[in-house]
Amino acid sequence: MTRRFYNKEFKLEAVKLVTERGVSCAQAAQDLGIGQNVVGRWVREAKADKTHAFPGRGQMKPDDAEVARLKRELAKTRAERDILKKPSATSRRSRREICRDRSAPRDLALALDVRDIGGHARWILRLAEASRERTSRRGSAVDGGDSRQLCRQ
């Protein structure tokens, strides 16, 4: 037995038989060759909302369509919120957290390539010397000596 589908006009005519002509639901159903419960349901739907009764297959009443649209929008917004809640892969969880490369060798001194560091070594030594000069200047005010000559020796 296959399911039968009735168009909007057929349903409205069946409802008119019951409401306007005063035919009972049982008699209208027998005359039309359909179930009595079906005609009763059509009458209830037509009384509930005459303008939007029987919207058709795949169609929704405007209120139902609005509810469905709002549900889709809410689901999308929740998904976006959940994505924004998750920490990104590159962000730190706290300010004090230090990311560590687990693939780096334990003894980095052995892994460094130190062939061409001549210019860098001189630059680092100059920085260290400047730092010593700054600290010795602070001390020279106390002992009165010239700390520049001591650092250069």
- Asked, for residue 70, whether it belongs to a domain, the answer is yes
Same-domain pairing of 19 and 49: yes
Whether pTM exceeds 0.75: no
| Structural domain containing residue 72 | 61-87
Number of domains in the chain: 2
Contact between residue 42 and residue 8 where contact means Cβ atoms under 8 Å apart: no
Query: What is the gyration radius of the CA atoms in the chain, in angstroms?
Result: 44
Average of pLDDT values for 47-74? 82
- Mind listing the pLDDT tens digit for each residue in 95-145? 555 555 555 555 554 444 555 556 667 777 787 888 888 877 766 555 555
Same-domain pairing of 12 and 50: yes
